[in-house]
């Protein structure tokens, strides 16, 4: 989420600054990467309930994905809206 904001990815809002309180950092992790980004938190599931766009198996809150060297090249897709 922070990396997206710093690099002007308009599709990520990140209103709550990564506190898992807003669900405006919703993204879809590309299938090829889901193994490496790992599963969702339980509370992430709850927050996604209120995401503005469709929630799929690939949905994540991007503030809960920690970018490690292992995720270099990560591909995510952005939802149409975050509100």
Partner 1 sequence: MTTVVIVGAGQGGLQAAISLRQNGHEGPVVLLGDEPGLPYQRPPLSKAYMFDGNEDALALRPESFLAAKQIDYRPGLRALQIDRAARQVGTESGALPYDHLILATGARNMHPPLPGVERAMDLRTLADARRLRDRCASPRRFAVIGGGFIALEFAAVARKLGHEVTLAEAGPRLMGRAVSAEMSRDFAEMHRALGVNLRLADPVAAVTETGMVLTSGHVVEADDVLLAAGVRPNVELAEAAGLTAANGIWVDGQLLTEDPAISALGDCAAFPDARSGRRVRLESVQAATDHARHIAARLTGGNPPDYDAVPWFWSDQADWKLQIAGLAMPEDRAEQPAPHVVFRFDDQDRLTAVETINGARIHMKARKMMAAGPIDAAQAAELLA
Figure out which of the listed residues 1, 4, 12, 23 binds partner 1, where binding follows CB under 8 A.
23
How many Cβ atoms sit within 10 Å of the Cβ of residue 69?
Answer: 5
Mark residues 24-53: x for contact with partner 1 by CB under 8 A, - for none: -------------------x-xxxxxxx--
Alpha carbons 25 and 16: distance in angstroms, whole number: 9
- Angle at CA 63, nearest 5°, toward 57 and 64? 60
- Within 3-62, which residues bind ligand FES (CB under 6 A)? 14-16, 18, 20-25, 47, 61
The footprint of partner 1 (CB under 8 A) covers: 2, 5-8, 10, 15-17, 19-21, 23, 43, 45-51
């Amino acid at each position: 989420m922070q990396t997206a904001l710093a690099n002007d990815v308009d599709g990520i809002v990140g209103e709550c600054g990564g506190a898992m309180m807003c669900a405006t950092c919703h993204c879809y992790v590309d299938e090829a990467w889901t193994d490496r980004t790992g599963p969702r938190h339980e509370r992430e599931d709850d927050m996604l309930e209120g995401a503005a766009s469709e929630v799929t198996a690939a949905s994540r809150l991007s503030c809960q994905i920690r970018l490690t060297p292992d995720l270099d090249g990560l591909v995510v897709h952005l939802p149409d809206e975050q509100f």
